[in-house]
Structure 1
Amino acid sequence: MKQKLLLAFALCVFLSGLQAQELIYKTFKDTRIINTHSIETPGARKLDFRVTHRFGDMLGSNGGWSNFFGLENASDISIGLEYGISDRLMLGLSRAKGSSVSDRKQLVNGLIKYRILRQMTEEAPLSLTFAGGSSLSTMPKVEGSEGINAFPKFSHRFAFFGQLLLARKFSEKLTFQLSATVVHRNLVRDEESNDTYAVGLAGRIQANKVVALIFDSQLPLNGYASPFNNNSHFPSFGIGAEFDTGGHVFQINLTNSNGIMETDYLPNTTANWAKGQFRLGFTISRLFNL
């Protein structure tokens, strides 16, 4: 009898330990927030088909009625696939137009993402993810040009980024995320820096079962891209609404970022919210089980 009681007690302790270390799921509903990656990956053997669109300026000198508040222009467009190798590891490939203010256009982008640490109820209060990628400009080379599009070497067509994402789901309704990013471009203008460092803040507030409010911001810290050093550049900031219909996630947002890829928008955010230089954007994400 005593042995049975001891066995039952040990089993209860073991099960309570498992419960105390329960994983926290769905910190975010998507692998992106607006411009910034989230700590999420699609999951093992899941294929994520993504379409992201940024229109033109809604207001300001380049917006308004003349271009139907930016809807007749496309600042950037991206179409891509991302596949979950495991619950932690994801690989992705996409094609982007390239932002209207960038020297690099017609981008082919590779992505890798790995969940280093996952939030648990007791043992791990935070989630930590690494994201990294490369962008290859496939735009035609312009012989004799003094600009970036001269591409003296093939390697000059490349740009890279690495990003650490740290997030915590505080409750079923509230999530915050911090990020640190470095972007390296192999070829830049004389006044620019090859490396751009940025820090970011993002969040998500669940309004009801279907709709959530989201925001993110990225602040470049150095060089020509930093608002501290150049009054023609600004922090990237976006706000939006996210709709989870079960089969797919649809997001609609407003942002002053012209580009979509980290290698594009972080060094090149020249649009000012105060002057109406923000644009409507949307993202559609559809998951397939393979």
Structure 2
Amino acid sequence: MKKIIGLVLTSVFVLSNGFAQEKESETFNAFKIVNAHSTKTLKKREFRYIIEHRFGDIAGEQGGVQTGFGFDNAADIRFGFDFGLSDKWMVGIARSKGANQPYRSLIDAGTKYLLLEQTKDLSTPVSMAITGTMYYTYQQATTNLTQVNSFPTQVDRFSYASQLVITHKLNERLSFAVLPTYVYRNYVLAKDNNALFSVGGAANLKLTKGLGLIAEYFYGIGNTMERNASNTNSLGFALEWKTNGHCFHFNFTNAKGMGELQYIANTESQWREGEFRFGFGISRTFKY
């Protein structure tokens, strides 16, 4: 895996030297790409309020005109607060509905730290950030001890995730991201894996200075058939629109839930069957 990441970074560096001389450090305007994190962080003493909403299936058996193409159903809803501790370090806490069993009524607490920032002269050819998130579900436990959401102990309600975000701005309009991601769940079924590893990739095509078109895909490493035959990889597209003080994020994805615990570990919907949905995120940043 280290060789693959090294090869990707080397290739990006060669391409960047071959195609451009002057670069901006910004790659993605929003704090998220589609489902994944971006390298963007709050500045010191900045505070952000975020609302994210994801609807039901647009098409397929659960979608169509009878459900208003998914607008009648809320797959997931998340609202939270982020705080900038320094120009490179931010922390946050949020509550989400949760889209998939056994992960409902979720609280997540996370942090993001900007390790590197791409420079115009390419002395630093990539931006890099690392994130860490702890999830806790407070949903009511079932009495069926064969189910994950029986939660025999409080520790079983916790899960964790970490993501390394590597981005590069190739030119004024095109940026890329590589997204190695690790998820660990304290309590799973016998045939499942506590630890999951996935590698994501994303691209951002800027249509204007504040408007970008994004694609993102995650590939699970390992034999997912041993976990659940219905599990699939998440694929999403987004339109991000940055205005003065606001950033609007409109997306279409087959992932019902938000956060690594949901879109890495519990995506079962298929694009080809119409099981994708519209979602959006709106945030407002303040100084404190």
Once the 2 structures are TM-superposed, how far is the Cα of residue 253 of structure 1 from its aligned partner?
1.1
Equivalent positions of 1:1-290 (< 5 A) are: 24-99=24-99, 101-120=100-119, 121-224=121-224, 231-290=229-288
Partner SS state of residue 155, structure 2: helix
Separation in structure 2 between the aligned mates of residue 151 and residue 133 of structure 1, nearest angstrom: 20
Task: Name the SS for the 1:156 alignment partner.
Answer: helix
**1-structure distance, mates of 2:30, 2:270:** 27
Pairwise CA distance, 1:46 = 1.1
**Contact 2:23/2:169 (CA < 8 Å) preserved in 1?**
no
SS in 2 for 1:114: strand
TM-score scaled by length of structure 1: 0.87
Q: Which has the larger radius of gyration?
A: 1
State the shift of 1:144 in Å: 4.5
Post-superposition offset of 1:199 = 0.1
Displaced runs of 4 or more, over 4 A: none
In 2, Cα distance between the equivalents of 1:230 and 1:260?
20
Q: Which amino acid aligns with 1:211?
A: L
Q: How many residues in Structure 1 have an aligned counterpart in Structure 2?
A: 266
- Spell out, residue by residue over 1:43-97, the C-alpha distance to the aligned partner (whole angstroms, 9 max, x if none): 2211111111110001001111121111000111110111111111110100011
Provide the rounded CA distance (Å) in 2 between the counterparts of 1:235 and 1:115: 27
Shift of 1:116: 1.1
User: Amino acid of the residue matched to residue 204 of structure 1?
Assistant: N
Identity level (%): 34
What is the SS of the residue equivalent to 2:224?
A: coil
Conserved in 2, the CA contact under 8 Å of 1:102 and 1:264?
Answer: no
Report how far residue 224 of structure 1 moved: 3.4
Deviation at 1:122, TM superposition (A): 3.0
SS at match of 1:264: helix
User: What runs of 5+ residues in structure 2 fail to find an aligned partner?
Assistant: 1-21
AA matched with 1:165: V
Q: Which moved more, 1:52-61 or 1:117-126?
A: 117-126
Q: Aligned Cα RMSD in Å?
A: 1.7
| Equivalent in the alignment of 2:7 | none
Aligned CA distance change for structure 1 residues 24 and 197 (closer, same or farther; 3 Å) = same
**Partner Cα separation in structure 2 for residue 157 and residue 138 of structure 1:** 7
Measure how far apart 1:225 and its partner are.
7.0
Q: 1:90 to 1:103 in 2, by over 3 A?
A: same
One-letter amino acid of the counterpart of residue 288, structure 1: F
What CA distance in whole angstroms lies between the structure 1 residues aligned with 2:256 and 2:44? 32
Scaled by the length of structure 2, the TM-score of the pair is 0.88
